Chains A and B, each alone.
Chain A
Amino acid sequence: MIEFNNVKKAYKVGVMDTVALDCVNFSIDQKEFVSFVGHSGAGKSTILKLIYAEEKPTSGEVLFNGEDITRIKPKGMPLHRRRIGTVFQDFKLLQKKTVFENVAFALEVSGYPNKEIQKSVPQILEIVGLSNKAENYPHEISGGEKQRVAIARALVHRPALIIADEPTGNLDPISAWGIIQLLLKINQLGTTVILATHDKEVVNNIKRRVITLDQGRVIRDHSKGRYAI
């Protein structure tokens, strides 16, 4: 489903080039649950950004279902992003919209009819356990609940892939585990999940494929991996 071939990404900082990724190769199949681990600055977030096309690689190719993402024209970008659901450490919720509206927004931009929105949003809020908070604004709910809203939004248009960038970074251990359980459940139902984290316990508990990064290179790729740097 996703393939990185000799991907290099360098950022220009002043006159110096800082290499974030160097010669990265891997592929991820459909319905996999893959965790990227590594220190801060190892290149985890850069890999995710390349997948949802927030960044372009300096060289190499990134394939999504066989299609080279770097060749997608600006007009096609929204369509590419609708194939992916994204979850972030800082939740990235629209503060002026209610929980319901935040989730509905992902469907509105894709042009879903109102009838379907009215049907799907309550269903997905039920799945993440937030039916009773639909009319609340983000500032009225807890961190764990905010992340559930973000997951509901990422999930509601049934994307083939969910990308979660440090989704547990701002949460207490119990809420964090709840979020991971939710992601595992989503994966069981057939959605590919890519997780970037440096939470050792999370990685060791889920016992799925782990790709370890160090200074922009893949140093380990185990199908039932553990957190080891």
Chain B
Amino acid sequence: MIILTLTRTLKAGFQNFYRNGSLTVAAVSILTLALLIISVILVLSISADLGLKYVQDKIDIRVYFKGDTEEQEMMAFRSEVQKYQEVKSAEYISKNKALDDFKTSNAGKPDILKAIEAVEDNPLLASVNIKARNPEQYDIIAKSIENSSFRDDIASINYQQYKLVIDRFNTTIKTIRKTGAFLFILFSLIAVLITFNVIRMTIFNHGTEIEIMRLVGASNNFIRLPFVFEGVIYGIFAAVISIILLFPIVKLVTPYIIGSAYVSVIQADFTKYFVLIFLAQLLVGVLLGIVSSILAIRRYLKA
């Protein structure tokens, strides 16, 4: 009996779907739009986050040591700093490594290379590059170093000159995260409400049918299930259409939002997440379809 009910109501759900023409088109379009809005905002806030992480990785503070400081001393400093909770990594760059790096990064500029070779001694200082777990913590790290026992060996900390940039960056991160979350919640809510109302409208259109079904002795499940299945089909169609539309939209929109520099990095990441995004859309679409149908039909199922 259960299997018979399931197969019959599933068939009825499909029939509703393809016999209702314009209503089906309206419901699928709205659901697609809802999924697209939610996904685009989600994708953009993830993009912004990835972009921020990328930038964040580039930020560090460098502690330069006076020319006569022993390497042993600098290594001791490095292991001391690594003990700080706020520090993610600390990398020792020797004078020679600093020179090599300098040459590599200026490989295309023969004038500069000539100039540096003209100087007999290596003019660059050894340094320890420190990365914080959280960009807000650079201030604390810099202060701790200034107050440490190593301060006499330190030539300079290049934190002060970057302070403004780092501060601004921190404020930007917070704003983007807050706005992203706010927009995501707001638009998700609007999308859910619109979807619910459209599905309610399609079910309202079936009011007489539901009355007839009750009169001929259909059980509540027998009445409800075709609409639930119809909701599932709406969800599947909407997810497929919106995933097809999502990628061109993301490709078009991301450069304007986060600056073209990181677009290739982010888009590469999204291709990886294709299946995951599609499954998420499918899940949200189907759930939206089912929940809206169940809620909308409840009032017709009075005893």
Contacts and interface: CB of A to CB of B under 8 A. Distances in A.
A81 B303 CA distance: 12
B4 interface: yes
Contacts, number: 54
A81 B214 contact: yes
Interface in A64-78: 73-74, 77-78
A136 to B, nearest CB: 15
The listed residue with most B CB atoms (<10 A of its CB), out of A82, A86, A92, A108, is A108
Given A74-B303, A111-B1, A92 B215 contact: yes
A94 B5 contact: no
A109 interface: yes
A97 B8 CA distance: 14
Contacts of A78: 214, 217-220, 222
A96 B20 contact: yes
Contacts of B136: none
Nearest to A101: B15
Contact of A94 (B209, B214, B220): B209
Contact of B216 (A96, A105, A113): A105
Interface residues of B, number: 22
Interface string A96-129: 1100000001101111010000000000000000
Interface string B55-95: 00000000000000000000000000000000000000000
Interface in B195-226: 208-209, 211-220, 222
B168 interface: no
Contacts of A52: 215
A94 B213 CA distance: 9
Contacts of A110: 217
A94 B209 CA distance: 6
A93 interface: yes
A98 to B, nearest CB: 10
Given A81-B214, A111-B5, A96 B15 contact: yes
B129 interface: no
Given A111-B4, A113-B4, A92 B213 contact: no
B213 A77 contact: no
Contacts of A79: 217
B4 A92 contact: no
A90 B114 CA distance: 99
A219 to B, nearest CB: 29
A73 B219 CA distance: 13
B72 to A, nearest CB: 84
Nearest to A90: B208
Interface of B: 1, 4-5, 8, 15-16, 19-20, 208-209, 211-220, 222, 303
11 contacts: A54-B215, A78-B217, A80-B217, A81-B214, A95-B209, A96-B15, A96-B19, A96-B209, A108-B8, A109-B216, A111-B5
